[in-house]
Each structure stands twice: as structure tokens, then as C-alpha cells.
Structure 1
Amino acid sequence: MEFDGDSAEENGDGVAALRKETKENCDGCSAIGAEFAPDREFARQNGVEGDPSFVSSSEVEKLAGIGSWLPSLENCRIARLSFNAYKKLPYGGHSFSICRSKSEIEESRNFELRLDKLLETEKNKIIELVKVQKDGTVEVDVTKNEPMASELLEFDAADTQHIGVGEGAIEFHKSIPRLKIAMLVVGTRGDVQPFIAIARRLQDFGHKVRLATHANFKAFVESADIDFYPLGGDARVLAGYMARNKGFLPSGPADIALQRKQIRAIIDSLFPACTEPDPDSGSPFRAQAIIANPPAYGHVHVAEALGVPIHIIFTMPWTPTQEFPHPLARVHQTAGYRLSYLVVDLLIWWFIRDIVNDFRRRMKLSPIAYFSTYHGSISHLPTSYIWSPHLVPKPNDWGSQVDVSGFCFMNHSLNYQPQKEFLEWILSGAKPIYIGFGSMPLEDAERTTSIILEALNCTGQRGIIDRGWGGLGKFPEISDNVFILEECPHDWLFPQCFAVVHHGGAGTTATGLKAGCPTTVIPFFGDQFFWGDRVHEKGVGPAPIPISELSVERLSNAINFMLDPEVKIRALELAKAIGSEDGVAEAVNSFHRHLPPELPLPAIASEETGNPVQSIILTMEKWWYLPCIS
């Protein structure tokens, strides 16, 4: 796929300054996969050929603990890359300024240089701290090398001082221009759904919103009257990979090529998603702001190339904190909680670094170093986390760049009409227990169905089994106390249920808690374990049961836990608190609040509409500002 390199060239002095700095300080981009040869010519052109600082493949093999399959990382050099050049970034032919003190810049440079000059033995000490488990999660053990853990945390503290695109947010901005906003969302239906709610609210403010996500969700997005653009990657393939590996990192060689192919397809589609005309109508589009979730790796690089602000929105924690570990990490010591975010960032960055740098080269951007304060971290970007602060309060060590906005719900139940047979079944007895795993794949759907049926029988409960993508409910004989459901909006269904059992997706968890349902989480991977722990900590559900450990006994005990009247009371109290929030409004306010203080709009050329008069009208509309932001 070819990119319009001229678009980056037109961005002016800001990007030129960034290129100059990265040319002086970045390493040549070498390959992760064995099929990619190190780009020594590019390293030579960028003035870093012969740099003795590098991390060898053997070191990374030690890091993984399963080095026989990990791809080669030969010639991956260490060099610093900072956001100093972002002091002045172009925006539509104009510039906005971001202030940063000289002392902050110097302090960050000192830490970067210290990391650059790490001796080989010191690099090995970093590797001692972490190990990739066979299930794809990351184990962090600070006791392996406490001095090095402290050093990395000190480096992390300096890294968080960097100010990236969008920082220096407007606190007293009276008006916001109407913008063309590209939303870049990677994940399952549950990941996409809250962005649809936010997109609709942004459109109410007069913004033009394009939601770019997997082709699987085209009809879902367009049904909400939102423009759709297809991103690469298949949501079903990604979900299957995550379920097998319990997270982002591959647990064996078979999945490496598959995951890298998916990631490359996603990253390669991001720039067109922000710049290409509408695939159906042909209407021109060029993003003036980007909203993305972290798995849309490459989002910040597109923002850099276009010179536009970016805002991160996510359903699970990705910003370092000392209050709980990264959802993809196992940490046995609280002292390692914050460190786990740095480790996961680095591991993911090392896995996709060559893909990202190849993408950057095609956009005429300089490559990024092996060890870099830039890598995969979002700490320097304005971020909104869309969960309820009543469930997970904002950590004390998150600064003003980070907001916890509240859950973002869509009201699917307005136009939903349940089938007569289903409605009659619901009304024929006590409120049932819902059991379903959404888009999660199942290795043995029949065995899982058998466990569910026996647990419902043991506890004397009626149950709704949702087939989902895993194909639950395929069983020779089903009792009249059980209803097999094909499809039903959760915001209508869950209020009809006494309690819910599900995979722990953020959206499903939110909907169940809003309905006042005690909740049992059966996590498959990723943040599902995090939400299961949070539900249990609040006393509205039992400890999560990993899908691999699901049994009749454990599920029966979980159902009995949820039947406790005290648990139901706590669930109803939490539901009342969540019901008082407007997470969508807060997320939109957060986006507006963190926009740069100067946001001039580019002129609209007559070619964009084909009609000079229409262009003038559109220009006037673009300069018509939105209402005051409180």
C-alpha cells in the first residue's frame, strides 16, 4: 500500500524539526521477523551506522523464556527519541504551541542518554525482571533485580513528563470548531460499541465523524448513522488469537505469523482511514483530529504525519499506575504494579517495531529507537477511560491528562421487540440467570454447555444460554427451565435477569452492573481478568473463574454466591451510582477539553465539493463554533 508522502512534507517546520531530531538520534530500523533483513542503508542514511548499542536476539530470547521460537532481533539499536520537536506542530497550515520548561527537557534527555549507554550486563538485568508465560501473559518479578527495577521506574517517571500532541489542554476554551474526526478502533463488538455512542454525541455537536474499524462491524456502525471505513484485520481471527494466548503476546511459534499479519493489515489501513474519500459515496475526508484505542497501533504515527491532535479512549487501563498492575501482566509484588505497564509496553513495541517503522518510512517519518520513550506508551497523550469511577476510581498517580469518564452505553432496547415465545418464557417463572460469552470462541462448546446445564440444575435455577460466537446450547436435551437465545440486546435482557455469568468484556460487565445484576466473570483473556477482579472486590460477584478452570462445582458455587441477598443489595446500590453517570457526555467533554489551545481550520478548496459556492458555504459552516464547554 502506498501513502501520499507529500502530505507529510506539507506539514511545515514542525514535522521538519521532528525529522531533524529523529535523524540525529534514532536508530536504523531493523527487522523483527527472520523474513525481514535489517535496513543498514537506512541506518547509514540516518547517521547511526556502527552504533555499538544493540540488543541481540539471545537477550530477547532470555526475556521470553521460550527463545526457540522468538523472532530475531539482531541489530536493534538503542537511541533516544523525545517529543521536544512537538513544541511546534502544524495544523492545517498553521501551528499551535506547546510549552515545556528547559529543565524538564534536560532531565528527560539525561534519562534517555543513560538508557542509551546501558552496558550489555545491565541490559541482561532488565531481561531478568520479566518472563512471557506460555499463556501469553507477562510475569514481572521485581525481586529478581530490585536496583534495575528502580532504575526503570525512574526512567518511566522521566518519560511521563514528555508532552505530546494535545497536551497543554484548554481549560477555559469558550468554543470548539467543527472538526472532521477519525475514530480508529480495533477489537470486538464490545470494543466498538462505546465508540458508536461517543461518535453520535460528537455528531450532535456538529462534528463530522468517521468510525474506522473491522469490516465485520460495517452494518453495526452504519445502523447508527455513522460513516464507516474498513480497517484491516478480522475481528474473529483476533478474538481467536487472544483466546488462545490469553493476551496480546504469542505463546508459541504458530501464532506469531498470524498475529503479525493481522497487525500489519491494521496499521497499513490507518492512514487511508484518515485521508481517503468515503468508499461508498466518494465524499472527500481528511481527519483534523484522531480518536483511537491503543490496539490501533500506529494511531500516533498517523497523527504525527498529518499534524493533528490525538485523543486516546479505552475500556481498560493502559496508563502506568501503582494501584493495580497492567491487565496483561501477572505481578506478585505491589512494588511491581507500575513497572508492569512499562514492561508490557516494551514487549509489545519489540514485537511490532519493524512493522511500525516500515509504516513510518512510507509516511516519510524517521524510525523510532529500540528503547525509546516514544515506543507504545500513551502516557504522554490525553486519555479518557470509559468505566465508572464508582467501580474503579481514578488512581491518585494519574495526572490531569487522564480522565475516568464513566461507562458509555447505547440504548439498543428502544426498538427491540422480543419474540413472543421468549417473552412468555421469561414471564413464566422466577428471574433467570443469564449465561453467555459473546464473541469468545470455545474449544468445546458441547462440554461447556453440559457444565452450564448441570450447574443450573444443581442450584435449581432457570437459565438463559446465549449461543454467541462460541456456539453454546448445542445439546441433545434441554430442560424447559433453560432458554437458548440467538441474539438479544443486553440492555433489554439483563434487567429481566436476576444475575449474569459472562466472559467479562468491559461493555458486557458495564451493562450487567447497570442492570443491578450480581456478576460472575469467566475470563478468557486480557482485561477480562481485570474486570472479574474488580467485580469481586466490590462484593457483587465471586472470584473470577478462568474458562480453562470452569467446572460444575465452581459454577454452582458462583451461582449460589450471587443468590445471596446481601450481594444483590450491593449490586443494586452500584447500579444506582452507575445510572447517575453520563459517560458519553464526559468522554466528549474530555476530548474537547484536551484539544490544543489554538486550533485553526484549513481552508476548503473548491475541488473538495466541485462547487465554488458550496465551498464557501462549507467554509462558513466549519468556522461556526460549537457551544461553550463547561
Structure 2
Amino acid sequence: MKITFLCKGTRGDARPLLALAKQWRRSKPAWQVTLACTFSVSCTLSQEIGNDIEVVKLPDQPAQQMSSEELTKLLRAEVECCLAASHDTSIIVFNLFTLEGWFIANHLSIPCVAASPFLLNRAPPDRFYKELQAVQPEIFDSLKHASPGQVSMAEVDHWMWRLFLDDLGDACASVGLQNVPFLKDTQVLLPSPTPLLYGISPSLLRQQAFWPDSVRVCGCWEMTSPDPQLVPNKELVTLVESMSSPLIFIGFGSMETLYRQVIDWKKTVTDINSALAACNAFALWQCYTDEVRQVFKDLSPGRICHWKGSFPHCWLFQHCVGVVHHGGIGTTTSALRAGLPAVVCPFQSEQHYWAEQLSWLGVGVQCPSIKTASINDYLRSFKTILSTPLSDAAKQLQLKIQNEDGIKIALSVIEQQLKK
């Protein structure tokens, strides 16, 4: 038996599905577990992936802007790799950057589950339903009058409208997959709804009454205890133990790479260092790019130490009093699970939502964009997370999150799909 996890995107996008894959492998050692992710992510997460999970490496998207022809070739290559990864599999779990997983499962006549570590807060374009009715009137009418137990407009409105995007359909058709959802030859066939699972704590995101029943908030998907294979680097341990307190973690994950040419990192590091000095705090900055590492070499700021590469957050956060990050759900959850308040500097999309949520819950501060933030912005934010009220609130929320088992809930839904 085999289960395949398909997850394009960044490290933060892949880690939650990796946590599901690892737990499935532990609980079902006889199963083959395959993880398809980009080449760069597979390299970054190689230690976490270990040797008991088969990895299929998807092509990376180049940093420079691609022509439409180049993008078409990339999309086709991605679908081909995902199709190869799904050979002889019994079920597919895909994230919402890898929607071809739905078409592949349909082609293979096997069940599938959609899994998202972030909230979908983007509605279909205004023209979507009008175009669907004009181009595929039978599908439109069938969805509108779907019977109980069939996929309906509710699922399409929440997330499945993305399956109708032209570039995705064209890429699927180019490798012989059906490119129009719910259509076989010329006949409309509405299947049972595909479950969409949110790997988010219900303490952060409540199940909404207007969502379809197939959408479920499970709880976060994170390995709750340090993996024995993930031993912190000895040099890092020595560095952390030598640093003064209070210690704050700073890490912007993949945003540092995506925005390496956009942000004035020299100004950012200098301003943060000055703010730390003003409130007598220190920081460990997790670096991913040469641009940021060069800033530290040139400036040698006295309040910040930097470290290149990955390490287990669950280990490091035991030594910290707060976290400064971009608002990715992975770092957000890791910080809350550790009982740490956060300063969130959002860059894009759902990161602004999580910054607002943490502020509303009283466990975080929303800082202005790094492009515009000043020394005073950082100073106010650092002083706030170092204060007792935010620290106490984060500890209280930690107790709630620690009692959740999002991975167990998600895997139980996957098993239910297998039985169907």
C-alpha cells in the first residue's frame, strides 16, 4: 500500500504535509510513503525527511520572470512529476499549490484529500460563475442542484473553483488527464465532496457554520516533540548557550529569499539591532540568503547573532522569550506552541491575517511592513512582547494548543477516505 503527498511551495508550505507523512509512516510502517516537493525544498528539509520517505523532486521555479511558453513547460513538467510520484498509490494528499493532485486522483480512480496549512480567504473572481454557466452550463446546473452526498456549489465556492483555471487544465490535458472537473467524456458526474483539511489550531481559526461539511479545521500539523534525527548543530548549541538574555528569535523564512532584492536588508538589520540595544535584548537571526549574511559580515551588529540553515524550532524556542517573523502559519504555530509572543512583519497574502489575529488574541504585535518600519516601530514592538501581559496570554494559549492533536484528526479523515 502507498500514500502520496503532493506539495509544491516553500519550506513552510511543505513542512505541515511532511509532518502528516512522517506520522503516517510511524503508524503504518508497512506502507510506502512518497513526498513530492520541489528540489530546493527537498534539499532544505532533507534531515527532517529522513530515509523512510521516498522523495520525488519537482522542478524549481526560476527566480527570473518566465515567458508564457516557459511557464507552460514548467507546469507540464510539474504535472508529469506528480503523476509519476502517484504511480501505484492508494490515496493522494495534496496542498492547494498542487491542485493537479485532484485530477491525477480522478484519472487513477482513487480517493484524495486536500490539505492546507493556511486559510483560504480569496473568493472566486466576479466573472467566474457567469463564465462557468456560459461555457459549461450542464456542470453549472448540476452543481446548483446537487443531491446530498455530491459535490456542490458550496465546495466550489470555498476552494474548488481553482480547479477550473485554464493554465491548470491545459497542463493536465497535455499529459492525458481530464482537464474539466466533473466531466467524463461529455457526461457530468458529480463525485462525493473531496475533504479540505485546515492544519490550523481551532484556537486561531474556528469552524465556520457556513462552510460545507467537507471542510474541517483539524489543528496544527507539526511534529510536537523533537525528532531524534533532528539534533541541533553543536556549534549552534554553543552559540545559543553563550548568548545573553532576553533572547528573541528572528526569522522570515522563504520571504527572505523571495524579497532578497526588494528589501533594504542593511537598513532593516541596523534598525532592529538599534531597537534591541534600546530595550537591552538580544536576537538570533535565522538567515537563508547571501544578501542578509553579507550585511552581518559588513556591520557586525553587537546585539544579533546569525545562523545559516534549518534547525528545530521546538528546541530553539525553549531558549527564547519572543519571536519576530513574517506571519507564516508554520512559525506562528511553533511560537504559540512554545508559549511565545510574536512580532509579525507581514509580507503578503494570509500573513496579514495572522498578524491581525495574533494582535486580536493579545499574543502578538503587528509591525509595519519591513519596507517602511522604523527603529521606533521595532522598539515599541519589542517592548510589548517583552511585557508580562503578552507573555502571560501566550502561555495561556499554549495550554490550549498543546491539548490539540491536529495530525491525528487529519489522518483519521484520510483513513475514512480510503474506506470509501
- Higher relative contact order (Cα pairs below 8 Å, separated by 6+ residues): 1
Q: Report the secondary structure of 2:418's partner residue.
A: coil
1:258 is displaced (CA, Å) by 6.3
Match of 2:187 in 1: none
Aligned to 1:186: 8
List aligned pairs for 1:1-16, cutoff 5 A: none
Whether the aligned pair in 2 keeps the contact of 1:445 and 1:470 (CA below 8 Å) is no
The alpha-carbon deviation at position 389 of structure 1 amounts to 0.6
Corresponding residue of 2:359: 536
Structure 1 unaligned spans of 5+: 1-178, 242-252, 276-285, 319-324, 330-337, 370-377, 598-630
What residue is the counterpart of 2:59 in the other structure?
232
AA of the residue aligned to 1:309: P
Name 1:96's counterpart in structure 2.
none
Matches within 5 A, 1:361-372: 362-363=175-176, 365=178, 367=180
Unpaired segments ≥5 residues, structure 2? 126-152, 183-190
Q: How does 1:154-553 map to 2 (within 5 A)?
A: 179-203=1-25, 204-205=27-28, 206-219=30-43, 220-221=45-46, 222-223=49-50, 225-234=52-61, 237=62, 262-275=74-87, 286-318=88-120, 325-326=121-122, 342=157, 352-360=165-173, 362-363=175-176, 365=178, 367=180, 380-410=193-223, 411-412=225-226, 414=228, 415-419=230-234, 423=238, 426=241, 429-440=244-255, 441=257, 442-443=260-261, 444-469=264-289, 471-473=291-293, 474-475=295-296, 476-487=298-309, 488-553=311-376
Partner of 2:55, secondary structure, is strand
Alignment partner, residue 128 of structure 2 = none
Q: TM-score, normalised by structure 1?
A: 0.53
Task: Please say if residues 335 and 342 of structure 2, whose CA atoms lie closer than 8 Å, have aligned partners that are also in contact.
Answer: yes
- Shift of the alpha carbon at 1:500? 0.5
Q: Matches of 1:366 and 1:434 in 2, distance apart?
A: 45
Helix, strand or coil: the match of 1:397? coil
Q: For structure 1, which segment, 542-551 or 415-424, has the greater mean C-alpha deviation from structure 2 after superposition?
A: 415-424
Asked if the contact 2:90/2:110 (under 8 Å) is kept, the reply is: yes
Which residue type is aligned with residue 359 of structure 1?
C
Give 1:480 deviation, angstroms: 3.9
Aligned in 2, Cα 1:213/1:447: closer, same or farther, shift over 3 Å?
Answer: same
Distance 1:355 1:428 in 2: 49
Counterpart position of 2:418:
595
Flag the 1:506–1:192 CA change in 2: closer, same or farther, 3 A. same
Report the equivalent of 1:565. 388
Q: Root-mean-square deviation (CA), in Å?
A: 3.2
**Are the equivalent residues in 2 in contact too, given 1:407–1:583 (CA < 8 A)?**
yes
Deviation (angstroms), 1:293:
0.4
Residues 597-625 of structure 1 deviation map (CA, whole Å, 9 limit, x = unaligned) = 3xxxxxxxxxxxxxxxxxxxxxxxxxxxx
Q: CA deviation at 1:548?
A: 2.7
1:395 alignment partner AA? Q
Residue 414 of structure 2: SS of its match in structure 1?
Answer: helix
The residue matched to 1:472 in structure 2 has which SS?
A: helix
Instruction: Decide whether the 8 Å contact of 2:6 with 2:93 is kept in 1.
Output: yes
SS at match of 1:448: helix
Aligned to 2:147: none
Which amino acid counterpart does residue 416 of structure 1 have in structure 2?
Answer: V
> How far apart are residue 288 of structure 1 and its match?
1.6
- 3-state SS of 2:394 partner: helix
Counterpart residue type for residue 326 of structure 1? R
Deviation at 1:501, TM superposition (A): 0.3
Opposite residue 265 of structure 1, the aligned amino acid is: A
Work out which of the two has the higher radius of gyration on C-alpha atoms and give 1 or 2.
Answer: 1
